[in-house]
Amino acid sequence: MTTSGLVVRQIKSSRDIETFLRLPWMLYANDPHWVPPLLSEIRARLNPRKNPYFQHAQAAMFLAEMNGKAIGRITAQVCQLTQEHQHAGDGHFGFFECLESQNASDGLFDAAASWLSDRKMKRMVGPFSFSIYDEAGLLIDGFHRSPSVFMGHSLPSYAKLFLDSGLTKEADVFAYYTDICQPYPDRVSRILRAARRSTTIVLRTIDGNHIEDDLDKLMTLFNESWEDNWGHVPMTKAEVNELGKLVKRLFNTDAVLLAEIGGVVEGFIVVIPNLNELTCDLNGKLFPFGWLRLLYRLKFIQCRSVRVPLMGVHRKYHSTGMGAAIAFSMIDRCRQINAEKGVTHCELSWILESNHAMRSILDAAGAKLDKTYRIYSKSL
């Protein structure tokens, strides 16, 4: 596509991919809350040979250029699991970044829409970079704080670009924030006292010697508990294995807590250090010395904040007193573990706006809605 000096084109060459990767450095140069992503991590995510997402999906990358200079980017992708488990005909877009230019924004969305239409898609939904388990949604409220690990960040101008390019709201997802040093509200304290008197709920961290088996149990429960949620697609075995590698490489085994009743896993919570605190000054580079700095910091420096990216209770306990006891027991144990390490704050993200049960739990625990990310859609 070419319009008055603007060119939007699909890219494949390694040189163009590097331009695609590094575009945010120009756009966010004056944003104090932007955290440069690790280039090696994004390269691996874009690489079909390294990212298990591509075992069930295909994608294309596009650059918008003005007079030969990159000013915008986008991906378009079709996930087969979405076709099977959500809405057949829904294609996705992601990795959107753009100078404040409506022409460039329109050109990028038109290119993504055309690619998706060629693959018989009926709607374009996103942003997802790439899957719903990567960065999901456009930040529309909460620019006051840097993003937590594995969460996205956007320029405030993007929301208008999306709307003027013809996209409309599909759903909102929220990030909650809480000071873990503050006492619980009375209602939560009562639930915890009752739960502590019960010997039914057994909490344990994952077994480092059997991490794959424990993660399989966690993901089975996750897939069963979330199957009716908006946008949910089951994680594949390859994706679970990739998660296991990540836990081994970057996090302690106490990052994952399981709740068992009668020896059966009925609840789980994942709490990870906010590694953005440790990488924000690396400028996206792990080589030649960034790896050494990161390894040192992982060993000797405690993050002051953590993030809960996943939490679930078996659906048979939803809206029951036992379900609340499981949830608050897990939250309390993780709170104790992390407070002892010097952690002061926790982000719980992301939470669907329609997930009223989980939002009620977080409200009761004293967490505050801190950021809003919006998912958009457009008919093709």
Which pLDDT score is estimated for 372? 98
Which pLDDT score is estimated for 70? 96
Contacts (Cβ under 8 Å, ≥6 apart) of 18: none
Q: What is the DSSP string of 196-233?
A: HH-SSEEEEE--GGGHHHHHHHHHHHHHHHHTTSTT--
pLDDT tens for residues 229-264?
787 788 887 877 777 677 666 666 678 899 999 989
Contacts (Cβ under 8 Å, ≥6 apart) of 8: 1, 2, 62, 63, 64, 65, 72, 104, 107, 108, 110, 111
Which pLDDT score is estimated for 250? 63
Whole-number Å distance between alpha carbons of 145 and 167: 26
Contacts (Cβ under 8 Å, ≥6 apart) of 124: 76, 91, 92, 93, 109, 112, 113, 116, 167, 377, 378, 380
Q: Is residue 146 within 8 Å of 153, Cβ to Cβ? A: yes
Whole-number Å distance between alpha carbons of 330 and 220: 18
Contacts (Cβ under 8 Å, ≥6 apart) of 239: 52, 53, 133
* pLDDT digits (tens), the chain, 380 positions: 656 789 999 999 999 999 999 999 999 999 999 999 999 989 999 999 999 999 999 999 999 999 999 999 999 999 999 999 888 999 999 999 999 999 999 999 999 999 999 999 999 999 999 988 889 999 999 999 999 999 999 999 999 999 999 999 999 999 999 999 999 888 888 888 888 877 789 999 887 777 778 878 888 888 887 777 787 788 887 877 777 677 666 666 678 899 999 989 999 998 989 999 999 999 998 877 777 888 888 788 889 999 998 888 888 888 888 888 898 899 999 999 999 999 999 999 989 999 888 898 889 888 999 999 999 999 99
| Beta-ladder partners of 249 | none
Distance, CA of 258 to chain centre? 21
Whole-number Å distance between alpha carbons of 137 and 126: 6
Q: Which domains does the chain have, with CATH numbers?
A: 2-174 (3.40.630.30), 178-371 (3.40.630.30)
Which pLDDT score is estimated for 215? 78
Whole-number Å distance between alpha carbons of 144 and 164: 25
Which pLDDT score is estimated for 312? 86
State phi, psi for 30 to the nearest 5 degrees: -110, 15
- Please give the model's pTM, rounded to 2 decimal places: 0.92
